[in-house]
A and B are shown apart, each in its own frame.
Chain A
Amino acid sequence: MKRDSGIDRRQFLFGAAAVSTLAAGCAPLTQRVAGRRRAEDISLPKRGGSEAHRFLHRAAFGPIPGEPRRFAEMGRDAYLKAQLHPTDEDDLAMKFLLSRLDVMRMGSAELRDLPEGHVMRQLRQAAILRAVYSQWQLRERVVDFWTNHFNIFAHKGDGAYRKNIDDLMVVRQHALGKFPDMVRASARSSAMLGYLDNQVNRKGVANENYARELLELHTLGVYGGYTQKDVSEVARCFTGWTIENRFMRPRDRFRFDPNTHDDGEKLVLGQRIPAKGGIEDGNRVIDIVTRHPSCAKFISTKLTRFFLGDAGESVQPQVERAYQDTGGEIVAMLMPILTSDAMLDGPPVLKRPYDYLVSSLRALDAQTDGGEALQAHLDAMGQPLYGWPMPDGYPDRTTAWTGTLLARWNFAHQLVNNEIGGTSINPDGLAPYGPLVLGEGAEGASLGDAAALLASPDFQWR
């Protein structure tokens, strides 16, 4: 017998009604899926390329043809105003493709009937489709950041069946919301409780795994001023925070189990947490750490570096202040970053494989199902999504990725030559790229030009 968890289901059905009405009169939609936008330009983010190219490579997953011109007409302020407040409206072709995925329609109880590999593939498919097609590109960028910040290794335990809820209720729900809310949601996410072992954190000898990473990776940073004693005390506070597994109850939900909670007094970062606090102990911890000055510093530094690389140092203090002034509002933190000069003229930041793959698809206006064949390339480049075992997320430093250029080159070649199943480009659409690839006055670009361009050193940077 399967039990449905109402909240998850409702959440998953968002937008599904809109999609089904469209699917009824499907002709314009499929045309839209098959339709080719006219190629007008391609971006060279490092050298050459306009400010629009540069900006869209950083705030978005690179421009699609025509977008730099529209961006230039619109201006950065108007673009940001829209992007920082996304609506439910989005690319219909994408919504249609997403609506067919089990991971978008089912809660974890139902997903369990499906093979893990199938679920993993769909999780990745959903992420790729959104990054390639969503008009809310900034949100997808930020989602990539938080996905790695609150990394879940989906191959551990039942992670694959829980990651879709985590993606929705933790990452997407709060990606542009308030940071402390995201921490609260993450602490109750069954994916996180399972991944960092808090589901077995009981009184007696507490399990420190979640407690340590909450302090070190999620909020304060390793030099944030806590001690090993604080880790132990935080672990005690989170005893009993577990996953529902009682008979006939909806599984995979958060549950506080008072019987395994350590109800003694605790001392966390110098603050006394009185005995018999129950579930409030954990809530208190999250308040303490997200209000701690180290948290503002750690989160602002990491977020700034994600967008600007080393050039972020001059901007970071403003981001830190924004955290402190607003209690961790993410939009307020993003503003100084996205309006900085460094977004336009700072030194380049290396694209991680996911970023490189998505920006290539967007540059050539490719059609993709985001499926297995495409994912194999991401795997070869070293970034199969939700596949990083350690809780720190995929690395953001350049040197980690220098060994995987060959996989990028092969991807560029196969993409341009339409050798990737489920993904295609229109070779005729490449013609207008000529001048950009080969210089002013050149005629159309060849397939070889396009492959060389995507494989070039310049295109590896944003």
Chain B
Amino acid sequence: MQEGCDSYRSWSRRAILRGAALGGVAWMAGIPSALANLGFRAQPDGRDTLVVVFLRGGADGLNVVPPYLDDDYHRRRPSLRIRSPKESAAGTKTLDLDGFFGLHPSMAGLYPLYREGKMAVIQAVGSADQTRSHFEAMSAMERGLARLGPGSDTSNGWLARYLNHTAQEGDSPLRAVAIGDLMPDSLRGGLSAMALPDLGAFRLRGDRSFRERLIEAYGSGDDAIATAGRETLRVLDTLNRLDYAGYRPTSPAVYPSSDLGNALKQVAFLLKAEVGLEVAFLDKGGWDTHVAQGSTTGWLAGLLEDVGNSLAAFTADIGSRLGRTTVVVMTEFGRRVYENSGLGTDHGRASCMFVMGGSTRGGKVYGDWPTLADEKLEGTGDLRVTTDYRDVLGEVLTRRMGLDQVDTVFPGLRHRPLGLLA
């Protein structure tokens, strides 16, 4: 059997379909595959697939995207600072973004994407939450709010509102997935949102009768568990027809064997399988670097290397599909400007974000730099937020995801798009 390379899409999809090599009759006949009879749309029409990576714990935007020309930065971080590209040592060379900001050397994997103009950086971005609490700041962001107030924790997630607003008859059960054990707040309350710990292990034990009893038991009821049970059964149906175990990423993509690498690999697989994936949510913890966060090497560097290499592998793996994909990397807050006694940093305010994809107007650092002068800092010494994170997300949803009105997802937002996306 010849594997034609002229059609990247059909090749990759074919490799994914379970049993395609054995009895590819339906496939050969040109019917879009075994998935045709599942009765849902395999492709969001005219919309991107959005991949959100949430860095939990408050990533230190000042060391991820160091303002290497700002003297105050070096003064306040004598041990932790990232040096300018000129001063930095070979091997851990700071990557220059625009002559003022650099990129942490451990993220070198993403630098080519930035240079190609497919990755944009937003600096000094964040929410209006001033509690400096992980949970408040995350809750605010995941709910798409400027900040939480007492009693405001009941609303659903920003992605859930997007999904519910754009839902249509025949949506895929895999329209929105979180790769992980738990449903993140961003997708909380969203139609067809599923948390999938591991595609390879997503199999139901037991014989047909067990499955039939589950179908019966979960057939009625509208509480959260009954609904989730029905969704789970639908997803099982779909995934049973795919072969994740046999998935080989497109060369030269090599995913790190980390949780994030594995999660992105699964997202790439679902993209290529064309199962109607519109939103994927992933997260990575460990960013709460109060102690010994390191500089060009060390703890934070290790985290960044994983993020950089995982995303680089993902973009290489999906190839031309990057044209219809937008990736957003975000975190709940940044960290204190000055380092603490444990050579770490405490909770701060603004951090950075990344947006990447085929339609991203990249190769540029967006946002106003508030500077690190004493009188410009907020509270006890934090980088001021000059860009509302919702302006970034709002632009993604309206530009690339077919959302007509931004305030259906971000109520009360006076939207000021940054021009990040074509």
Contacts and interface: CB of A to CB of B under 8 A. Distances in A.
Interface of A: 197, 200-209, 212, 216-217, 222-223, 228-229, 231-232, 350, 380-382, 389-390, 392, 395, 398-407, 409-410, 413-414, 417, 448, 451-452, 455-457, 460-461
B210 A413 contact: yes
Contacts of A382: 181-182, 197
Interface string B278-309: 00000001101011000000000000000000
B379 interface: yes
Given A380-B197, A398-B224, A452-B214, A206 B341 contact: yes
Contacts of B180: 403
B135 interface: yes
Contacts of B223: 457
Contact of B150 (A223, A380, A414): A223
B377 interface: no
Contacts of A390: 56-57, 134-135, 285, 288
B5 interface: no
Nearest to B177: A403
A228 B291 contact: no
B195 interface: yes
A222 B135 contact: yes
Contact of A208 (B135, B150, B194, B347): B347
B291 A200 contact: yes
B214 A403 contact: no
Interface string B180-194: 111100001100001
Given A399-B189, A455-B214, A461-B225, A201 B342 contact: yes
Contacts of A452: 210, 213-214, 217
Given A197-B291, A403-B181, 8 more contacts: A197-B344, A200-B342, A205-B340, A390-B135, A402-B228, A403-B178, A405-B225, A407-B197
A103 B224 CA distance: 38
A400 B181 CA distance: 9
Nearest to B206: A413
Given A200-B291, A228-B379, A380-B197, A457 B225 contact: yes
A452 to B, nearest CB: 4
Interface of A is mostly: helix
B134 A409 contact: no
A60 to B, nearest CB: 21
Given A205-B341, A209-B290, A398-B224, A409 B133 contact: no
B196 interface: yes
A397 B202 CA distance: 24
Q: Name which of A200, A381, A401, A406 has the most chain B CB atoms within 10 A of its CB.
A: A406
Contact of B341 (A207, A410, A456): A207
A158 B288 CA distance: 17
B285 A404 contact: no
Contacts of A380: 197, 201
Contact of B224 (A205, A228, A350): A350
B408 to A, nearest CB: 21
B380 A232 contact: yes
B224 A402 contact: yes
Contacts of B196: 403
18 contacts: A197-B342, A204-B341, A208-B290, A209-B290, A216-B131, A223-B150, A229-B380, A350-B224, A350-B225, A389-B285, A390-B134, A403-B196, A406-B232, A406-B236, A414-B205, A417-B206, A448-B209, A460-B225
Contacts of B286: 389
Contacts of B291: 197, 200, 207, 209
Contacts of A203: 341
B221 interface: yes
A392 B194 CA distance: 23
B339 A205 contact: yes
Nearest to A347: B223
Contacts of B317: none
A24 B103 CA distance: 67
A202 B347 contact: no
B294 to A, nearest CB: 14
Contacts of B204: 406, 409-410
B25 interface: no
Contact of B132 (A212, A223, A398): A212
B195 A404 contact: yes
A460 B339 CA distance: 46
Contacts of A212: 132-133, 347
Interface of B: 56-57, 130-136, 150, 178, 180-183, 188-189, 194-197, 201-202, 204-206, 209-210, 213-214, 217-218, 221, 223-229, 232, 236, 285-286, 288, 290-291, 338-342, 344, 346-347, 379-380
A369 B291 CA distance: 38
A120 to B, nearest CB: 17
B285 A403 contact: no
A456 B226 CA distance: 9
B81 to A, nearest CB: 15
B252 to A, nearest CB: 32
Contact of B131 (A197, A208, A222, A350): A222
A392 B134 CA distance: 9
Given A216-B133, A389-B286, A452-B210, A403 B225 contact: no
Nearest to B221: A457
A457 B291 CA distance: 44
Given A223-B150, A390-B56, A406-B232, A399 B188 contact: yes
Nearest to A226: B131
Contact of A207 (B210, B214, B340): B340
A202 B344 CA distance: 12
B183 A399 contact: yes
Contacts of B134: 390, 392
Given A222-B135, A406-B202, A448 B232 contact: no
A205 B336 CA distance: 11
Contact of A404 (B133, B197, B380): B197
A221 to B, nearest CB: 10
A133 B131 CA distance: 42
Contacts of A216: 131, 133, 135
A417 to B, nearest CB: 8
Nearest to B285: A389
A346 to B, nearest CB: 15
Contacts of A413: 205-206, 210
A69 B225 CA distance: 29
A207 B342 contact: yes
B372 to A, nearest CB: 16
Contacts of A204: 341
Contacts of B201: 380
Residue of A200, A350, A461 with most partner-chain B CB within 10 A: A200
A232 B379 CA distance: 11
Nearest to B131: A222
A-B complex: 8 closest residue pairs judged by Cβ atoms: A403-B195, A382-B181, A200-B342, A402-B228, A452-B213, A209-B290, A413-B206, A202-B341
